Structure 1
Amino acid sequence: MRLQRLKTGVEDFEIFAQIGKGAFAEVRLCREKTSSQIFTMKKLNKSDMIRRGQVGHVRSERNLLAEIESEFVVKLHCSFQDEEFLYLIMEYLPGGDMMALLSSKGTLTEEEARFYIARTVLAIESIHKHNYIDRDIKTDNMLLGKDGHIKLTDFGLCKSLDLAYLQDLNDTSKDLNSKSTIDLWILKSDL
């Protein structure tokens, strides 16, 4: 009984307006009832995920969010499920996304462009340091905090790296241009 009381569920959140909708999920603004803290709730339909073969993608996204603690990645507060849906509760970033910023500003100054490019490079590097590749980097997936700093989100297409073949590529005793090394890399990589 005690464990059941400690489990988080959708009933623990007050759900507000929809702030995003993708091919596989909807994202809503919500407030945790006990703390009154504002979050975003990503709600994924389990039967749609299974039918579309997206279970692995959702698992990769959840794993990346659970593993990575970075100032450049949206923080995962918790995840849970019910009979129909999977839920990811993540930090809310009130600055919108980079696409909206570019649409409203039109053109960035050189200083602004340098700032956002540098932050984007650091964000991508933080993913790579944790042995993931984000295969869906676009302005819609770059959220802005209230301070204007970028955080990456939506890791449904991320890929965990198999470090075994990277070690083979880093081995300086091997000829990287040999057919066997290239074949090994292609066979082990499903990027």
Structure 2
Amino acid sequence: MAPTATTAAVSIPLPSRPPRLDAVVAADDAGEFDFSDVFGQLPSVKEGEAADWGQPELHYVADTLVICSRSHSLVGPSPRPSLRVGCPLEECEAGDDAGGEDSDFSDAVDVEQQQEFDDTTRKLGPGDFELLNLVGQGAFGKVFQVRLKGSSDIYAMKVMRKDKVLEKNYVDYMKAERDIMTKIVHPFIVQLRCSFQTKTKLYLILDFINGGHLFFQLYRQGTFSEDLCRVYAAEIVSAVAHLHSKGIVHRDLKPENILLDADGHVKLTDFGLAKEIEESDRTNSYCGTVEYMAPEILLSKGHGKAADWWSLGILVYEMLHGMPPFTNRNKNKLQQEIIKGKLKLPGYLSSEVHSLLKGLLHKDPSKRLGSGGSGSCDIKRHKWFKCINWSKLDAGLIQPKFVPVVQGRACIANFDEKWTKLPAQDSPASTPRAADIDMFQGYTYVAPNVWLSGSSS
């Protein structure tokens, strides 16, 4: 889509790693990165907090020090383990799939009943793609930038080891992620193009989105202006409303799971915790990232679509203030703050966004904005969004004021160098037991469109 902009876009070069907060302040004081009309002012930080905000967390596993931080990569950050529960790609395992081993990238495609498609699609395997760069790594495997052989088409390939999936008992999550993504086509959601498997691994082929994570831009700038935040929030609302219309709850909305494309539009990603539920149903799973989890999830009272609107409220608050409304390094205290704590709204925000946040962050899900009979329409009609033309938004005709620096479709400048500097190698994995093979039956999928037309065999 070719957006038309009434306001000139602003582009700034991005660092290879997010700087410390004090470095951002120093640069802003010098006028080097003064885009306050686009990004807003830096959040106020109490004395002694600057060294902790956004810095890596340390913990020990089997007496080995592990450093985890929120960084930008296609599979999201290396997460904060003390605040995360039940989440796929939960931690980076030292030495796992570290590269430098003999590759099994030519591993034969597992024998599986292929779905029926038209003549423009065909059965694919790992050998149909050329590995270009490593752009992310997690507990289950890696994410690569790849090129479809015989074409100039660039994609992201998410590779998950079956033995690791089985070891952590995440088979249902992996299958649910693949199943859900086959049902989604939306301008603000990353598109699944196909999936396949070998005897040892699962593969997802996704659109390659290379503008960086929303979190990275937020971390880089401190806060967003209300105008920029409004466009991002509106695009997220549109994406989540589409998911809900399909009976899908995302359950892990956060800045790390929101990418920016080359035009600056958001792309919602990572459906590893998404779930399909009926309109009136509730699910009792305790999962997600604690800072963004709704009170009803923490209380195990059963949750539905309203949990996503709570997470949206946390996102909007964080985009405008630089930090979530409820923060505490102690997990139990953080949970109690979310359940019982009073929402404190910054005085410098407009009354309209105050109203929106109060509605989205209502602790009673039945009274939360977006949970009524009109669903997302109540959010879209809110006075803070009165300047948004939703039809133009979905058509890509409302251009965000910030456009990432992207030099072509293959550009990887907005991915963390700790991944991109490693060898692009798909490491070998052990073959699961014969008794476990059937658990992955039916994983193969090719999107019913013409994206493969013209590619070589």
The alignment status of 1:16 with 2:132, answered yes or no, reads yes
Task: State the secondary structure of the residue aligned to 1:77.
Answer: strand
- Code of the aligned partner of 2:161: N
Which residue of the other structure, out of 167, 174, 178, is the alignment partner of 1:51? 167
TM-score (norm 1): 0.80
1:139 and 1:22 map into 2 onto residues whose CA distance is: 18
Say which is worse superposed, 36-45 or 122-131, in terms of deviation.
Answer: 122-131
| 1:173-184 superposed matches below 5 A | none
1:163 and 1:71 map into 2 onto residues whose CA distance is: 24
Structure with greater contact order relative to length (CA < 8 Å, sep ≥ 6): 2
TM-score (norm 2): 0.35
Aligned twin of 1:103: 219
1:23 Cα deviation (Å)? 3.0
Report how many aligned residue pairs link the two structures.
166
Which residue of the other structure, out of 157, 171, 180, is the alignment partner of 1:41? 157
1:130 and 1:151 map into 2 onto residues whose CA distance is: 18
Aligned twin of 1:179: none
1:110 and 1:118 map into 2 onto residues whose CA distance is: 12
Which residue of the other structure, out of 190, 200, 205, is the alignment partner of 1:89? 205
- Code of the aligned partner of 1:50: L
The alignment status of 1:153 with 2:279, answered yes or no, reads no
2:235 and 2:279 map into 1 onto residues whose CA distance is: 26
Aligned twin of 2:185: 69
The alignment status of 1:120 with 2:236, answered yes or no, reads yes
- Code of the aligned partner of 1:86: L
1:164 Cα deviation (Å)? 6.4
Aligned twin of 2:430: none
1:40-85 residue CA offsets vs partner (Å, 9 max, x unmatched)? 0000001111121111111111011111111121111111111111
1:100 and 1:93 map into 2 onto residues whose CA distance is: 14
2:200 and 2:259 map into 1 onto residues whose CA distance is: 28
Task: State the secondary structure of the residue aligned to 1:67.
Answer: coil
1:145 Cα deviation (Å)? 0.9
Say which is worse superposed, 39-48 or 114-123, in terms of deviation.
Answer: 114-123
1:143 Cα deviation (Å)? 0.9
Task: Please list every run of 5 or more consecutive structure 1 residues that lacks an aligned counterpart in the other structure.
Answer: 167-184
- Code of the aligned partner of 2:169: G
2:207 and 2:227 map into 1 onto residues whose CA distance is: 28
> Is the Cα–Cα contact under 8 Å of residues 28 and 42 in structure 1 kept in the other structure?
yes
- Code of the aligned partner of 1:26: K
1:163 Cα deviation (Å)? 4.4
1:165 Cα deviation (Å)? 3.8
Please tell me the root mean square deviation across aligned C-alpha atoms, in Å: 2.1
2:155 and 2:181 map into 1 onto residues whose CA distance is: 15
More strand by share: 1
Aligned twin of 2:144: 28
> Is the Cα–Cα contact under 8 Å of residues 134 and 145 in structure 2 kept in the other structure?
yes
1:79 and 1:108 map into 2 onto residues whose CA distance is: 36
